Structure 1
Amino acid sequence: MEHKLATAEKKVLVELVKLVQKRGLEGEKGGWKEFLKSYDKKFGASVSDPSRRSNDVLVAFLSSLNKKEDLQLLARVMQCDANRNLIEKFKEESPDKETPEQRLVRMTIAHDKYPTFYSFPSYADDWFVTENGKKKSKVMKSTRMLAIDCEMVTCEDGSEAVVRVGAVDRDLKVVLDKYVKPSLPVVDYKTDITGVTAEDVEKATLSVADIQKKLRRFLCAGTILVGHGLNNDLQVLKIDHARVIDTALVFNYADARASKLPSLNNVCKAVLGHEVRMTGATHNCVHDAAAAMKVVLAVVEKGVDTTIAQPEEMVEAEKAIQEAKKSQLLLHKIPHSVPSQELHGLVSGDFTLDVKPPKRPGGYYTAVVVFNSPEEANEAFENVDGDADKDSVGFPQKLVKIKLSSGYEASLYLRKNAQDGEVTTRKRTNSEEDNVSSKRQRREDDDSEETREGNVNLCEDHLKEIEELKEKLKAKEDCVKSSEDHLKVIEELKEKLKAKDVVKSNEDQLKEIEELKQKLKAKELENKTQDKMITNLKKKLEKKK
């Protein structure tokens, strides 16, 4: 461990010390600050920020930890960092030099969803972080593969737990097929999906830690873990492994959005010519692991394309959804102050209103207006007065105003749920149509506090508020005139600080430098705060006008 610490990068050592502080761990000379007081007779704990300490000091403290569980934590953190570095190197490797297996690894980690799917709490004591070896070239040339799959149940706290694990090697030989006993009571065995019964779980004697031990001998340097939705299996097995091939991320549908991930059944039908299981049949983790390995081998050994056609039933279902959307209009960016009952008066015709609540309290909400036919929807859209426009993907919409029973007036958008003419299925999904673009929705929710109720008619109260804002703005601008004095003080402090830093400081000088730095930060923060307040006041004033 001492050698690993001595050769570790500064950022890793700093991360380790901060984690040790957070967990309240102590070495032979106590915690971090107690260690500094005894180790550094000159400065003691006056400089306790790990990032401002030398590698030697950081290593000396970490080396003072001697409890087994503390050393295991250090090892996990360092291995996680090594794995992250390895993953970055995978991305940088030239495609011309990589093996077919490594190409699929790169495709997995380059997927947009990889950072989210494979972000694990690997520092936890019950997690196993695999080692991938020191020689990157040897690791990347390895073609050893192991496919795994798990069956899961729901526990009383709502979490998922593994109850059966299956693993097959590159030759499709079953190397592991074991039942696992969950650590918490099970409330849903999902027997119709998993095929696992309460009796199967009752007979199980192995824990997740036992399964980790059984898998260790297969996860040697360079081994590639294969699976479909592999992140879910690694999450319940509590294993962090850098070199993975996730067939859910490697394969994609032609003429479909990138976020639409294919099922293992559809990948097998497209690549192997048959399904993993018949419709309605229960899962079998061994069969699923073997199926994932087979489709990977088809790409590696036969050069099968990773882009597959959408199944006919999926295309037909999408067509039916898009056809239904022709009879719909979408009301969106509705201020939370607008009662949903008052939306009925905005459009004419025979329709039903499906209201979607805001994602955040006080945010905008949406509503789907469902008509009996596309003709009725189009007629209703044309009859509404408003500024015609198109949204970011070309759907016709109008910015309309609604008169509320309270006497106020609010603005919102009325949009068609399908493009004029031929419907394009690639641009949007059903959920996105119902809830509006998620990115725009988040942005709108963030802005909801500033935009508030929509465009309300100005009244005397608003005019008074404008005058108050003008007075505040004038006061702040007068205050800013003194900023030159602040800047002079800051410059003087900087000069003093520079002069102090070039001298070899004793303990008193170091404390004075710290005080000067605090004063400098305070002055700079004061200026920034004033600038920010003035900017916000100007924005409010512009909106009120």
Structure 2
Amino acid sequence: MEHKLATAEKKVLVELVKLVQKQGLEGDNGGWKEFLNSYDKKLGSSLSDPSRRSNDVLVAFLSSFKKKEDVQLLARVLQCDANRNLIEKFKQESPDKETPEQRLVRMTITHPRYPIYYAFPSHAEDWFVTKSGNKQSKVIKSTRMLAIDCEMVTCEDGSEAVVRVGAVDRDLKVVLDKFVKPSLPVVDYKTEITGVTAEDLEKATLSVADIQKKLRRFLSKGTILVGHGLHNDLQVLKVDHARVIDTSLVFKYSGANNSRIPSLLNLCKSVLDEELRMEGAAHNCVHDAAAAMKLVLAVVEKGVETLIPQTEQMLEVEKTIHEAKKASLYLHKIPHNVPSQELRGVIMGDFKVDVKPPKKLGGYYSAEVVFSSQEEANEAFEKVDGDIVKDTMGLSQKMVQFKLNSGSVSRLYVRKNVQDGEEVSAKKRSNTEEEKNVSCKRQKRENDSEETTREENGSSQGSICEDHIKEIEELKEKLKTTVEENEELKEKLKAKDENEELKEKLKAKEREVEAQDKMITNLKKKLKKK
């Protein structure tokens, strides 16, 4: 593995680092920032943008992963890159032999987001991995296609579970339409989106493993799986299939916004001149699977271009979405053990809650709280009982501590989705939380919302100082929580004189307080020197 990493291109190494960050993985020296702090005593994690680090640093970090499943994940991404290179080489050497279907497979696999989206933990026992077999020529030339789509709900641990699966063949014939029984209790059916109700699942008996078995007879050698955002469906179905066409990666907008992922609704309007569903109507996985297949057939059989212009109607839809953002609040860093129902104890008013599942099992989840107007959203934010703090982009948010029905105390953050006339994408903001200090040359928003760009030369020192200040504030919050827990343990000890377990916990907390005090002192000394 170390040799493969050492000979990989830098862009691949950067992709790998971003992937393990996104999935919250840790090597022998911890995560990316912990590694930088121990590996580079001079800059540490103040320069954490992997694209600005040397290959040696990236390789050293990735080589620190020793767990079997982590190594398999890295190997899979490296293999994806190797496959992309082979496909590109095949195209260059034999451009006339590439079928339209194969071209779309190539466009999907060579997309920059493919290694991130399709890096599945398929080493796990409950995953189904298709085999290509020995007859590679037949596999490559196969034009058999199957489009699939799933409807998902949110379970009590914050994870997503598939509850309905639809699949159509190349002739748009429905070959699968089944409800699936989730393995965990459902806390949000998202009926207005999925169209699935609790009653629909009362008689459901099929499991994910049962659906995998049903799909096996369709996924014969060379079958191409088709879908829009197909990786999401394969993730919940726990299926790893090599030949895929993802219409969200194949089609893209022309002009300045060509990096944005087009929606299935917009693609149907632009490419097919069809309405996928009536405004406000719930999804139907069979219809969505058929729509993805129609898009692929439009390219394969009619030669439709994959580069599409943005119409005035699309821009109007974006404007509507922006207006909707103004009427919502974004809650993030919500512990997985906090039921979404208890969020109503944090936010006042009449609203709908759209829960976003955690990126890893047991991790934090987030939620959008949607009101009927921007005024109501602003009023609700003002009434939130919490301390105003700045996020990593300098925008205001509230840190809220609240008591659960169970009696325990939890904490989360609340911010407006749109601040000072500027849209703040919830997804972008949550990614920013996970990847703090992405570059010394980053944007800083002042309180008056005036945006300035910090130049690389002469600014890294100020960036480091700012990072220290933020780190001190975070440590102070942790220290405050630790002291409170310490006091609780002391009270419990008074009631239970000889409870050795509690005594050990108290000692551990005291050591933690002492360590955090030292860290704050050291950081303050560094600030004085600067």
TM-score by length of 2: 0.49
